[in-house]
C-alpha cells in the first residue's frame, strides 16, 4: 500500500485530463495524472476520434479560440506534419494522426513536470466531511491509496465524482447523447474521395436495414500519413456505467462494422478496403455529469451570455445524436462565433476541493452537447487544473481573478473578440 501525497490528483488522461494536469503542474503543484489505459489521449487515441472540434469558430473566416495546452498540442502536431485542416463539415475541425498524439502528450506532460501513472484505474475515493482526501487505484500490483489537497475528475464517466460522493447525474432529463464505435478502414487510395452521401448510398445499395445496422451516415475523415478512412457509424443504446450493457454494445458494434465494410467496398475505388481497427473502445458521447454550482445552458450561447467567471471559450455547435432513431442534429450559435464558458459549471456543488472538465462539465442537453468536444475539453481541463492547483495552495475558496490571471499567463484565450 502506497500513501504518497500530492497537491493535485487528476483522474483520466484524455484531452481534458492532460490539460488539467499540465496547467496544475505549471502552476507549481505536485501533480499526479492517473490513466486507466497505457497511453494518454482518451477518445483521441483509444476511440478513433481523430478530429479536434471546438478549436476554431464556425464563422466564414474561422478564428482559433483555444490557446494554452490545446494550442501547444496543435503546434507540436503541425510541426510533425501530423495534422490536416482546418476542414469544414458542419463545423470547422482539424484531423490528426493518433500515434503522434500519444507521443506529443507524453512529451508535453513530461516537460510540464506531471507525474503520469498509466495502466492505473481509479476505483474509489475517500472523503472527510465535504472534502475528498484520497483516491484508491488498482493496477496489476494490487491497490494503492494516493492523497492530495485537490482533485480533478476528467474520466468522462465521472468515476471520481461518483466514488467520492460528489453530486452527479446521468445525462439530462432522461436524454443521453448516443454512443458510436469509431471505425477505421484502410486500403482506400488517397485519391478516392469518400463523402457522407457516398456512405448513405453504399448503405442503401447493400439494402442494410435498421435491424442490421444503426446509422446510415457519418462524417468521413481521412487520416494524415495512412489516409485511412474514419467513420462513426455503428451505434448502440447502452449504459457505459454497466459492464454487461457495454459488452453487448461492443460486440454488436463490431458485428455492424463488418457490414459497413461490405457497404464501403461498393463505393467506386474502395473495392480493396479492409478494417484497420474498431474503437479500440466504443465511443461514449455522454455519461455522468457533475452537479455544479451553475449549469451551462444552450440559451447562454444563443443569448451571448457574458460570465464574470469566464475561464474558457467554446465554438462548437450543439451536436446531438438521437438514441431513438439514430438521427443527428447540429444547432449553431448565432454567427458561428465564440461563446463564454463559466468556471462555475466545473465546480462541484458539495465538494469544494473537487473539479471536473471535458465531457463531465455541467451542461444542459444541448449546452453539454456543445462543450464536450476535445478542443473545448483542453480549455475546460486547463481551467480545472489551474483551479485545483490554486485550491491546493490557498484553500477551498477559489479566487476567479487569480485563476484568470494564471490562465492568461498560461496562454489561455478568454476574450471572445
Ligand atoms: C463517436 C464519437 C465521435 C466524436 N467526434 C468528435 C470529434 O470529431 N471531435 C471532437 O473534438 N470531439 C468528438 N467527440 C467528443 C469527444 O471525443 C469527447 O467529448 C472528448 O474526448 C472529451 O474529452 P475528455 O478528456 O473529457 O474525455 P475522454 O477523451 O473520454 O478521456 C477520458 C479518459 O479518462 C480515462 N478514464 C476513465 N475512467 C477512468 C478511471 N476510473 N481511472 C483512470 N482513468 C479513467 C479514460 O481511459 C480516458 O483516457 C466524439 C465522441 C464520440 C463518442
Write the secondary structure of 9-47 as one string of H (helix), E (strand) and C (coil). Answer: EEECCEHHHHHHHHHHHHCCCCEEEECCCCCCECHHHHC
pLDDT score, position 58: 97
pLDDT score, position 209: 75
Task: Give the mean pLDDT of 372-392.
Answer: 98
Ligand 1 centre to CA of 156 (Å) is 6
Atom of ligand 1 nearest to the CA of 179: 53
Burial bucket for residue 197 (CB in 10 Å: 0-12, 13-18, 19+): exposed
Q: What would the pLDDT profile of 29-75 be if each residue is shown by its tens digit?
A: 999 999 999 999 999 999 999 999 999 999 999 999 999 999 999 99
Domain coordinates in residue numbering, the chain: 5-173+286-409, 179-278
**Atom 37, ligand 1: residue with shortest CA distance:** 155
**Atom 41, ligand 1: residue with shortest CA distance:** 122
Looking at the predicted structure, is the pLDDT value of residue 210 above 80?
no
- Measured CA angle at 387 (ends 297, 14), to 5 deg: 75
Ligand 1 centre to CA of 14 (Å) is 6
- Return the C-alpha cell found at 367: 449546452
Q: What would the pLDDT profile of 65-80 be if each residue is shown by its tens digit?
A: 999 999 999 999 999 9
CATH code at 5-173+286-409: 3.50.50.60
9/32 Cα distance (integer angstroms): 5
Residues paired with 320 in a beta bridge: 329
Q: Cis peptide leading into 86, omega within 30 of 0?
A: yes
- Return the C-alpha cell found at 203: 448503405
pLDDT score, position 282: 98
In testing the pocket of ligand 1, which one of 38, 42, 282, 371 has its CB within 8 Å of the most ligand atoms? 42
Going by the DSSP 8-state scheme, the letter that residue 345 receives in this structure is G
In testing the pocket of ligand 1, which one of 40, 49, 214 has its CB within 8 Å of the most ligand atoms? 49
Atom of ligand 1 nearest to the CA of 372: 19
Ligand 1 centre to CA of 268 (Å) is 33
DSSP string for 224-277: TTT--EEEEEEEE---TT-HHHHHHHHHHHHHHHHHHHHHHTTSTT-TT-EEEE
Confidence of residue 417 (pLDDT cuts 50, 70, 90): confident
Ligand 1 centre to CA of 281 (Å) is 10
Q: What mean pLDDT, rounded, does the chain reach?
A: 97
Task: Give the mean pLDDT of 102-115.
Answer: 98
Atom of ligand 1 nearest to the CA of 12: 34
380/369 Cα distance (integer angstroms): 14
pLDDT score, position 128: 97
Looking at the predicted structure, is the pLDDT value of residue 411 above 70?
yes
Ligand 1 centre to CA of 60 (Å) is 28
Q: What would the pLDDT profile of 304-315 be if each residue is shown by its tens digit?
A: 999 999 999 999
pLDDT score, position 291: 98
CB within 6 Å of ligand 1 — which residues? 11-17, 34-37, 42-43, 47, 49, 51-54, 121-122, 154-157, 159, 179-180, 182, 232, 283-285, 358-359, 372-375, 377
Looking at the predicted structure, is the pLDDT value of residue 1 above 60?
no
Q: Are strands 142-153 and 5-11 parallel, antiparallel or unpaired?
A: parallel
Amino acid at each position: 500500500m502506497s500513501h504518497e501525497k500530492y497537491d493535485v490528483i487528476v483522474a483520466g488522461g484524455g484531452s481534458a485530463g492532460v490539460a488539467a494536469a499540465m496547467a496544475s503542474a505549471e502552476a507549481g503543484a505536485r501533480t499526479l495524472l492517473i490513466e486507466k489505459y497505457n497511453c494518454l489521449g482518451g477518445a483521441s487515441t483509444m476511440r478513433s476520434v481523430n478530429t479536434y472540434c471546438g478549436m476554431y469558430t464556425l464563422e466564414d473566416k474561422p478564428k482559433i479560440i483555444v490557446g494554452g495546452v490545446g494550442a501547444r498540442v496543435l503546434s507540436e502536431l503541425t510541426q510533425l506534419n501530423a495534422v490536416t485542416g482546418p476542414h469544414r463539415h458542419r463545423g470547422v475541425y482539424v484531423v490528426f494522426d493518433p500515434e503522434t498524439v500519444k507521443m506529443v502528450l507524453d512529451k508535453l506532460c513530461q516537460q510540464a513536470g506531471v507525474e503520469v501513472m498509466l495502466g492505473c484505474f481509479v476505483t474509489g475515493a475517500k472523503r472527510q466531511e465535504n472534502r475528498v482526501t484520497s483516491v484508491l487505484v488498482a493496477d496489476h500490483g494490487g491497490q494503492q491509496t494516493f492523497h492530495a489537497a485537490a482533485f480533478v475528475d476528467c474520466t468522462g464517466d465521472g468515476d471520481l465524482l461518483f466514488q467520492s460522493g460528489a453530486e452527479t447525474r446521468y445525462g439530462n432529463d432522461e436524454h443521453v447523447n448516443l454512443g458510436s464505435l469509431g471505425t477505421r478502414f484502410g486500403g482506400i487510395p488517397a485519391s478516392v474521395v469518400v463523402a457522407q452521401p457516398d456512405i448513405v448510398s453504399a448503405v442503401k445499395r447493400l439494402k442494410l436495414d435498421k435491424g442490421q445496422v444503426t446509422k446510415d451516415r457519418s462524417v468521413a475523415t481521412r487520416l494524415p500519413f495512412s489516409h485511412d478512412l474514419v467513420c462513426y457509424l455503428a451505434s448502440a443504446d447502452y449504459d457505459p456505467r454497466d459492464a454487461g450493457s457495454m459488452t453487448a454494445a461492443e460486440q454488436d458494434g463490431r458485428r455492424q462494422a463488418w457490414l459497413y465494410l461490405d457497404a464501403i467496398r461498393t463505393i467506386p475505388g474502395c473495392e480493396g478496403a479492409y478494417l484497420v481497427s474498431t474503437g479500440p473502445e466504443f465511443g461514449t458521447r455522454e455519461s455522468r455529469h457533475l452537479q455544479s454550482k451553475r449549469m451551462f445552458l444552450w440559451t447562454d450561447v444563443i443569448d451571448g451570455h457574458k460570465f464574470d467567471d469566464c475561464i474558457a471559450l467554446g465554438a462548437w455547435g450543439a451536436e446531438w445524436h438521437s438514441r431513438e432513431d439514430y438521427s443527428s442534429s447540429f444547432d449553431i450559435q448565432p454567427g458561428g462565433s465564440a461563446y463564454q464558458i463559466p468556471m462555475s459549471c466545473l465546480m462541484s456543488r458539495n465538494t469544494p476541493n473537487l473539479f471536473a472538465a471535458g465531457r463531465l462539465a455541467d451542461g444542459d442537453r444541448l449546452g453539454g452537447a456543445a462543450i464536450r468536444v476535445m478542443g473545448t475539453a483542453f480549455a475546460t481541463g486547463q481551467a480545472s487544473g489551474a483551479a485545483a492547483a490554486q485550491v491546493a495552495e490557498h484553500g477551498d475558496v477559489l479566487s476567479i481573478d487569480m485563476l484568470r490571471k494564471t490562465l492568461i499567463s498560461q496562454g489561455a484565450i478568454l476574450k471572445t473578440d
